[in-house]
């Protein structure tokens, strides 16, 4: 079925003339002589205004019963719009009702809450807000590939089912097969040993970086952490570049360049949708994104950050002490009140970071970095990796991890080991940042969080 997308019409300088358009009716107003239909096909935020004169073919069967939510096919001429706000409108010559909508279509009214929209996840992409969110999500996925491909990085598909816990935090979903209601274990286990859904593709990514030099992964990751926050999902997507012959400094440079690239691309390619977010979701969004695009970021060590937070005089819910993790409120203080810009904190105490991070010469800290952004906190977490065989083995032991589970990872240090570094960008955190949407659930098509896996 040939059709012209609404975006191709409304974004065009010259009228495309005769077209066939298909979409869903947002609103309809009938008068004696004609009807006005606002048609949306999801290709852009704006609706196409359709004028259907009474008496055209299909008017009685196509236009009259087309309620909000119904789908229609309209053939007609694109003509200059009489009304304000848009260049073109469609003068219908023929209308066909494709699918009627029942009277209780849940998106009749404007301004539903995000919570209500989550309860109708199968219809929420039809709304202005979620249509915009998921167009931006698609564009950002494309831009991420573009960013890495243009820099010569190789895209690697790391496995979703894995036997190793990358972060060593034990927050994994187990993969099992069943015999009726009975879970198969031990000898019966499908893969011959316990397996899990991956929490990160990093360890596998490192092996490919230590062969192809610059790689990235982009795929789903899973965490069984029982965090009920607006920033944690049980299933989310992560982008993990890994670079051989690379240290922490170059790693931080890449993370900053990537954030700037993506923000800049969103401002350009998603201008209409971002304008909508700026008006209805977060009034400071565009100003903040332009600032991030144009200005340089800050960098401080963890130790400096702790001193700065202690001296701030700010009342925090969680304590600030060397050796403790920075909480979201601390991260947000740094980026929103102190520096007022994205900030990378690096060189964390080794005790609060995973086994794979490279030990610094001070013996106390590791070459870790977290990139924090206003409104969210951590958006990127990364490090230089421990490439020295004996130090890595000692790290595993210090973290109470069984070396035999990581033998292939340790082996990488036996044969031509090289300094290497990488990071993970949480895709949904990036989307929250770019759209101003405050809850991670609302940038995920079908969110999975503790206690919730609907649709
Ligand atoms: O800081 P994390 O745990 O780092 C890693 O997984 C490393 N293996 C990455 C690497 O060095 N290759 O996670 C990386 C990022 C976080 O900064 C955050 O943006 C996101 O992933 N993230 C989550 N996003 C949504 N829901 C969750 N539960 C998340 N946990 C982490
Ligand atoms: Mg982290």
Does residue 69 sit within a domain?
A: yes
Among 66, 99, 132, the domain boundary falls at 99
Among 65, 99, 133, the domain boundary falls at 99
Same domain, 37 and 153: no
Q: What's the domain range around 415?
A: 124-442
User: Within 10 Å of residue 257's Cβ, how many Cβ atoms?
Assistant: 12
pLDDT of residue 3 exceeding 80: yes
C-alpha 433: how far from chain center: 9
Ligand 1 centroid distance, CA of 136 (Å): 21
pLDDT of residue 108 exceeding 90: no
Same domain, 11 and 55: yes
How is 241-266 classified by DSSP, letter by letter? EEEES--HHHHHHHHHHHHHHHHHHH
Same domain, 78 and 220: no
Does residue 118 sit within a domain?
A: no
pLDDT of residue 109 exceeding 80: no
Same domain, 283 and 339: yes
Same domain, 57 and 189: no
Ligand 1 centroid distance, CA of 388 (Å): 24
Residue 295 sits at φ, ψ, to 5 deg, of -110, 160
Does residue 336 sit within a domain?
A: yes
pLDDT confidence tier of residue 178, bands split at 50, 70 and 90: very high
Taking residues 311-323, what's their average pLDDT? Answer: 95
- pLDDT above 90 covers what percent of the chain? 93
Instruction: Tell whether ligand 1 has an atom less than 6 A from the beta carbon of residue 251.
Output: no
Taking residues 110-122, what's their average pLDDT? Answer: 89
| Residue pLDDT, tens place only, 279-309 | 999 999 999 999 999 999 999 999 999 999 9
Looking at residue 8, its pLDDT comes to: 96
| Residue pLDDT, tens place only, 223-232 | 999 989 999 9
Same domain, 260 and 406: yes
pLDDT confidence tier of residue 165, bands split at 50, 70 and 90: confident
pLDDT confidence tier of residue 170, bands split at 50, 70 and 90: confident
Same domain, 131 and 95: no
CA distance to 119, 202, 295, 384, 437, per residue, from 140 (Å)? 26, 21, 21, 26, 15
Same domain, 219 and 342: yes
pTM: 0.96
Same domain, 326 and 391: yes
Does residue 166 sit within a domain?
A: yes
Taking residues 318-347, what's their average pLDDT? Answer: 96
- CA–CA separation, 390 and 248 (whole Å): 20
Of 256, 223, 224, 225, which Cα lies nearest the Cα of 241?
256
Instruction: Tell whether ligand 1 has an atom less than 6 A from the beta carbon of residue 381.
Output: yes
Same domain, 184 and 331: yes
Taking residues 31-45, what's their average pLDDT? Answer: 96
Does residue 89 sit within a domain?
A: yes
Among 64, 99, 134, the domain boundary falls at 99
CATH of the domain at 224: 3.30.930.10
Does residue 278 sit within a domain?
A: yes
Looking at residue 318, its pLDDT comes to: 96
Looking at residue 211, its pLDDT comes to: 98
Ligand 1 centroid distance, CA of 232 (Å): 10
Q: How many domains does the chain have?
A: 2
Place of tokens 């229609």: 72
Taking residues 242-269, what's their average pLDDT? Answer: 98
Question: 200, 166 in Cβ contact below 8 A?
Answer: yes
C-alpha 357: how far from chain center: 25
Same domain, 79 and 215: no
Question: 345, 372 in Cβ contact below 8 A?
Answer: yes
Same domain, 67 and 158: no
Instruction: Tell whether ligand 1 has an atom less than 6 A from the beta carbon of residue 387.
Output: no
pLDDT confidence tier of residue 164, bands split at 50, 70 and 90: confident
Does residue 383 sit within a domain?
A: yes
CA distance to 129, 130, 143, 376, per residue, from 442 (Å)? 10, 8, 21, 14
Give the mean pLDDT of the chain. 95
Does residue 237 sit within a domain?
A: yes
Instruction: Tell whether ligand 1 has an atom less than 6 A from the beta carbon of residue 202.
Output: yes
Question: 378, 331 in Cβ contact below 8 A?
Answer: yes
CATH of the domain at 43: 2.40.50.140
Instruction: Give ∠ CA 88-91-93 in degrees, rounded to 5.
Output: 150
Instruction: Tell whether ligand 1 has an atom less than 6 A from the beta carbon of residue 377.
Output: no
Element (H, E) at 149: helix 128-150
Question: 34, 54 in Cβ contact below 8 A?
Answer: yes
| Residue pLDDT, tens place only, 81-91 | 987 788 999 99
């Amino acid at each position: 079925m040939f059709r012209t997308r609404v975006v191709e019409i409304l974004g065009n300088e010259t009228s495309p003339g005769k077209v066939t358009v298909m979409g869903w009716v947002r609103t309809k107003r009938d008068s004696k002589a004609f009807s006005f239909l606002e048609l949306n096909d999801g290709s852009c935020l704006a609706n196409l205004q359709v004028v259907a004169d009474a008496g055209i073919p299909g008017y009685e069967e196509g236009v009259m019963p087309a309620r909000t939510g119904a789908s229609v096919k309209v053939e007609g001429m694109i003509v200059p719009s009489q009304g304000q706000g848009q260049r073109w409108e469609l003068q219908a010559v023929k209308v066909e009702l494709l699918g009627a909508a029942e009277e209780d279509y849940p998106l009749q009214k404007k301004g539903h809450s995000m919570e209500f929209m989550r309860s109708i996840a199968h219809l929420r992409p039809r709304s202005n807000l979620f249509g915009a969110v998921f167009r931006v999500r698609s564009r950002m996925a494309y831009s991420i590939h573009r960013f890495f491909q243009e820099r010569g990085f190789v895209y690697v598909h790391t496995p979703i089912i894995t036997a190793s816990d990358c972060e060593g935090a034990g927050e994994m979903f187990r993969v099992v097969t069943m015999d009726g209601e009975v879970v198969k274990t031990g000898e019966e286990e499908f893969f011959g040993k316990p397996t899990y859904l991956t929490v990160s593709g990093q360890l596998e990514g490192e092996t490919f970086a230590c062969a192809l030099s610059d790689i990235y992964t982009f795929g789903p990751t899973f965490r069984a952490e029982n965090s009920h926050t607006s920033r944690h999902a049980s299933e989310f997507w992560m982008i993990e570049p890994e670079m051989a012959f690379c240290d922490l400094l170059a790693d931080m440079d890449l993370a900053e360049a990537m954030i700037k690239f993506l923000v800049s691309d969103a401002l350009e390619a998603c201008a209409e949708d971002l304008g909508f977010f700026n008006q209805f979701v977060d009034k400071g969004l565009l100003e903040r994104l332009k600032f991030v695009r144009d200005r340089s970021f800050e960098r401080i060590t963890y130790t400096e950050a702790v001193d700065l937070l202690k001296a701030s005089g700010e009342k925090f819910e969680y304590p600030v002490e060397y050796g403790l993790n920075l909480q979201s409120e601390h991260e947000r203080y740094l980026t929103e009140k102190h520096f007022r810009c994205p900030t990378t904190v690096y060189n964390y105490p080794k005790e609060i970071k995973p086994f794979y991070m490279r030990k610094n010469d001070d013996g106390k800290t590791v070459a870790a970095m977290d990139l924090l952004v206003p409104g969210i906190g951590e958006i990127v977490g990364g490090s230089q990796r421990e490439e020295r065989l004996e130090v890595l083995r000692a790290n595993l032991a210090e973290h109470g991890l069984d070396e035999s589970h990581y033998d292939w990872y340790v082996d990488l240090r036996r044969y031509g080991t090289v300094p290497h570094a990488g990071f993970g960008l949480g895709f949904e955190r990036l989307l929250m940042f770019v759209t101003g949407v405050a809850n991670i659930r609302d940038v995920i098509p079908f969110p999975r969080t503790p206690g919730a896996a609907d649709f």
